[in-house]
Amino acid sequence: MTAHRPVRSRPVLVHFGSPEPGRLRLLCIPHAGAGAAAFKVWSELVPDWISVVGVRLPGRESRLREPLLTSMEDVARHIVAGLEDHTGPVALFGHCFGGPVAFRVAQLLEQARACEVVRLVAASAPVPGRVPDGRHTHELPTDELYASLVGIGAMNDGQFGQSIFGLTENAIRADFEAFETWTSYDFGRIAAPVLAVRGTDDRVLSEGSEEEWASFTEGGLTTRSVPGGHFLLGADVPGLVDVVVRQLTDDHADR
């Protein structure tokens, strides 16, 4: 009988850009099923005082064989564990599914007083507990799930897109399940201010939905719109990064 080697767990945080950390770390949490690679280009678009750190959850990229996490609490605590040795200021960015995750991570960091959370940026992100249209996306048949992702621009249609979907479907389902079953929690608020960003052509989140983030922060809400649809990490990313950097620059000037 052939013994199977245990799957070695790889780090959840991926550091991009200069090996010397900047004065502020920008922790970036992607949309459902995605990994850290989407944020590699960000290190070329931000000033030197910001260090870009991507989140790579189990079940994707170099962690493809690791067991998936299907609970929001498990996802958030897994990320926080990766920050155990970090004591400097951190800003959190979350795209779509990553927005609610970033919110819960901010809560845990503030409760532990492990490091200062200076800003939460939620882009194309529903607020905690608000499942758009009440859908249970994680239960959709494979063809319907793929079509829905193509429809919002998160997946390319055609053979290449189908190949990528084949590799990421399980992770996508796990992330949607974590969010869509996180509905009976007493969410509360975070102390950090929130920047909520919405694409002008977003057909998933209704216009004005970004204002709902005001109920989840004691630090104040700022809203911005950028050109693009619901999926903002593709061709629209330069405009998104510009908005994020401008906000973090203003935050830094106030410190």
Phi-psi region of 18 (alpha: psi -120 to 50; beta: other; left: phi over 0): beta
Q: What would the pLDDT profile of 56-71 be if each residue is shown by its tens digit?
A: 999 999 999 999 999 9
Residues contacting 186, CB < 8 A, separation 6+: none
In this predicted model, which residue has the larger pLDDT, 105 or 3? 105
DSSP string, 112-130: HT-S-EEEEEEES-PPTT-
61, two tokens: 């990229």
Q: What would the pLDDT profile of 193-232 be if each residue is shown by its tens digit?
A: 999 999 999 988 888 899 999 999 999 999 999 999 998 9
The listed range with the strongest mean pLDDT (34-38, 129-133, 234-238) is: 34-38
Q: What would the pLDDT profile of 118-139 be if each residue is shown by its tens digit?
A: 999 999 999 988 776 656 778 7
What does pTM read for this prediction?
Answer: 0.91
The residue type at 101: V
Sheet-wide strand order for 50-55: 13-15, 50-55, 24-29, 90-95, 117-123, 194-199, 221-226
90-95 and 117-123 as β-strands: parallel, antiparallel, unpaired? Answer: parallel
